[in-house]
Homo-oligomer: A and B are copies of this chain.
Amino acid sequence: MEKLTPVEVTNLLLGFAVMLALARAFGEAFNRFRQPAIVGEILAGILLGPTVLGSLAPGLFQGLFPTAGALALAYHTVITLAVVLLLLIAGLEIDLSVLWRQGRAALLVSVLGTAVPFAVGFGAAYAFPRFWGFEPGADLLTFALFFGTALSISALPVIAKIMMDMNLFKTDVGMLVMGAAMFSDLVGWIIFSIILGMMNAHAPTDAELGGDHGGMGIGATIGLTLLLVAFTLTVGRWLVHRAMPWIQSRLSWPGGVLSFTLVLTLAGAAATEAIGIHAIFGAFLVGIAVGDSTHMRAQTRMVLHQFVTYVFAPIFFVSIGLEADFLQHFNLPLVLGVLAVAFVGKLAGCLLGARWGGLSRNDSWAISFGMNARGAMEIILGLLALQYGVIQEDMFVALVVLALLSSIVSGPLMNKFIDRPQTWKLEELLHARLFIPEMEAATREEAIRELARPAAEAAGLDAEMVAQAVLAREQIMGTSLGQEIAVPHARLEEVDKPVLVVGHSRQGIDFDSPDGKPTRLIFLLLTPQQDMSAQIQIMGQIARLFKEEQARAVIYENDSVELVRAFVKTEAAPLLAH
């Protein structure tokens, strides 16, 4: 077999190491500001690509990420598999039943939120083709169809992440946005696969791309595509659902169902690639069919989801930045134009649908900004269009900027229109200065005073005042939860966010606990007077987590707040966290 040379293998491994490391670093930085990681991952790619690394250190760049030769092929192979797996995951997240269950408002948002931006994009491209960088001689219909689709498609993974961050995922508004986004993704991809068929028919670079697809005409491609969609979402879905219990009961677990899912994905991807639309469409369809089966276990979804989200997806998102020089091709009028029509089309369509469907003004705006987030899907479309010569680099760069900006503003703007209590995560409240691994206090009152000191300091208050408030509350009714835990607390006008101090008493303190045991783990909690939910949320998390002996042992045995934080975070994380 023809093989990579050791030097190429070294560079390949190094290249992926750098891509993954930078993607994680930037993704984390953006997560810190409650922004989707994808924004950071794309920026990491721009840094590693011709835009920055390529212009600062061209030798290093060409060594790590050459544009031709065996190494370039090797990257393309892995990136192709990465994007196939990413679309599998995107498909798994589409729950057809959610679509059906939504009411009239959701239907209107879905349809108008997809049709209006499509019409706006199509019209704009058709009316002023030169402004959008259309090259005369190419096929204007294909170009206009592409532009309309690119503006109408959503970004399910990005939207899901924003909904989760805002604690909206399981609310009416959240489900409506998710359902409508699924619809626009599904419709967008079907339209786009038809465009791909047209591109194959028209593209002047067809020979360059090395493929005639057995000379298949555009009619055959479109026909086969629709047939494949219809088959996969009906018979295929049913067959998968029937096969799943058999696989889980007869084959090894979870190897059987993992292999089954991946074999179907690869076969579906090969089928769509063979009929002249891109491989990822097949992976997406298989994802929908497989994910829809209620027999698929959460654990299988988790393994697929985590490995793809944290390994393959970053590799793909970073690779976007390798595709073009984002400075050289940054065309300000074009970027502003794309942003304007994209925002106006999507917001107008969604607002219209939501208001017509009877939603309040604030909810309608929130939903529209939610739907306006774009990401992976739109960029993949742009990438393919670039590859097939339908658009030029300038337009590709503008589309990436659109994806980045719309994702960034989506969460904060939704926040403006929707009034949700903030969510507090226990681990975010744990700090070294607010952790006393060896308490000195011997009585309940001494313990509260000992913990009140660092709490008051953190909140900029008087320690005696804080202690009095907590003691007053404690006298009304003891705050021991049993199982060695107590949570003395107070709501105060003077604090604007929760403060938590954790103390461990080795000898145990009498907190008048219901089970009669001495209290060894004491959480002193101050929350703002007006924020009723903060106290309930945080006390709930403490009770849930630390009723397990294993969790208490982590605090009893460690002096380092870092280990406690790590435990709280990894234990409390939901199974399918994004």
Contacts of A76 in B (CB 8 A): 1-4, 74
Is A531 in contact with chain B by the CB < 8 A criterion? no
Contacts of A70 in B (CB 8 A): 73
What's the Cα separation between A8 and B70 when bound, in Å? 14
B2 touches A67 (CB 8 A): yes
A75 touches B1 (CB 8 A): yes
Is A55 in contact with chain B by the CB < 8 A criterion? no
B560 touches A245 (CB 8 A): yes
Is A333 in contact with chain B by the CB < 8 A criterion? no
Contacts of A248 in B (CB 8 A): 565-566, 569-570
Is A269 in contact with chain B by the CB < 8 A criterion? yes
B273 touches A13 (CB 8 A): yes
What's the Cα separation between A28 and B210 when bound, in Å? 39
Contacts of A210 in B (CB 8 A): 5-8
A259 touches B213 (CB 8 A): no
B307 touches A27 (CB 8 A): no
A427 touches B249 (CB 8 A): yes
B13 touches A299 (CB 8 A): no
B252 touches A37 (CB 8 A): yes
Contacts of A306 in B (CB 8 A): 254-255, 258, 303
Is A231 in contact with chain B by the CB < 8 A criterion? no
Is A77 in contact with chain B by the CB < 8 A criterion? yes
Stretch at the interface among A14-22, A372-380, A476-484: A14-22
What's the Cα separation between A346 and B123 when bound, in Å? 76
Stretch at the interface among A308-316, A402-410, A452-460: A308-316
Contacts of A68 in B (CB 8 A): 1-2
Contacts of A542 in B (CB 8 A): none
Contacts of A314 in B (CB 8 A): 259
A439 → B minimal CB distance (Å):
22
A10 touches B310 (CB 8 A): no
Is A138 in contact with chain B by the CB < 8 A criterion? no
Contacts of A20 in B (CB 8 A): 259, 262-263, 266
A247 → B minimal CB distance (Å):
8
Contacts of A23 in B (CB 8 A): 259
Contacts of A562 in B (CB 8 A): 245-246, 249
Chain A 298-326, CB within 8 Å of chain B: the 1/0 string?
Answer: 01001110110111001000000011000
Residue on B nearest A70 in the bound complex, by CB: B73
A120 → B minimal CB distance (Å):
32
B259 touches A310 (CB 8 A): yes
Residue on B nearest A5 in the bound complex, by CB: B210
Stretch at the interface among A78-86, A178-186, A351-359, A508-516: A78-86
Contacts of A69 in B (CB 8 A): 2
Q: Could you pull out 18 A-B pairs where Cβ atoms are within 8 angstroms? A: A1-B68, A1-B75, A1-B76, A2-B72, A3-B73, A5-B210, A7-B210, A9-B80, A10-B273, A28-B256, A74-B74, A74-B76, A78-B78, A253-B573, A254-B306, A255-B309, A259-B311, A303-B306
Contacts of A543 in B (CB 8 A): none
Q: A279-B9, A307-B303, A577-B253 are in contact. Are A14 and B566 (CB under 8 A)?
A: no
Contacts of A492 in B (CB 8 A): none
Is A60 in contact with chain B by the CB < 8 A criterion? no
What's the Cα separation between A575 and B276 when bound, in Å? 42
A256 touches B1 (CB 8 A): no
B254 touches A566 (CB 8 A): no
Q: A3-B76, A24-B255 are in contact. Are A16 and B266 (CB under 8 A)?
A: yes
Contacts of A560 in B (CB 8 A): 245
Is A472 in contact with chain B by the CB < 8 A criterion? no
A28 touches B310 (CB 8 A): no
A382 → B minimal CB distance (Å):
15
